[in-house]
Amino acid sequence: MNLRNEAADDFLELESAPRPTGGYVVVHPLHDAPEVKVDLDRLGPMQLSRGARIALVSLRCYLVAIMLMGAWRAIELIKR
């Protein structure tokens, strides 16, 4: 008994079955055909908008500030 083949057969039955116009067929990702993956080596750097760049820089500054405050607190606890 091969569950993968049974699922594929069920999918083929769904595809051939009549359906109302404008209806959708929901396909589970495991039963769908594999998609072509993007080659990451051929992609260039992402273009960021000004708002996205500001958000990422502010997030980085926030994380650095939190780490510094945590280190400061740890040093204070060690000194006691």
pLDDT tens-place string over residues 2-52: 555 565 566 566 566 566 666 677 888 888 888 888 888 888 888 899 999
Q: Where are the domains of the chain?
A: 48-80
What would you report as the CA-atom Rg of the chain, rounded to the nearest whole angstrom?
26
Q: What angle do CA 33, 45, 63 make, to 5 degrees?
A: 100
Q: Give the per-residue pLDDT at 21.
A: 66
Q: Give the per-residue pLDDT at 1.
A: 46
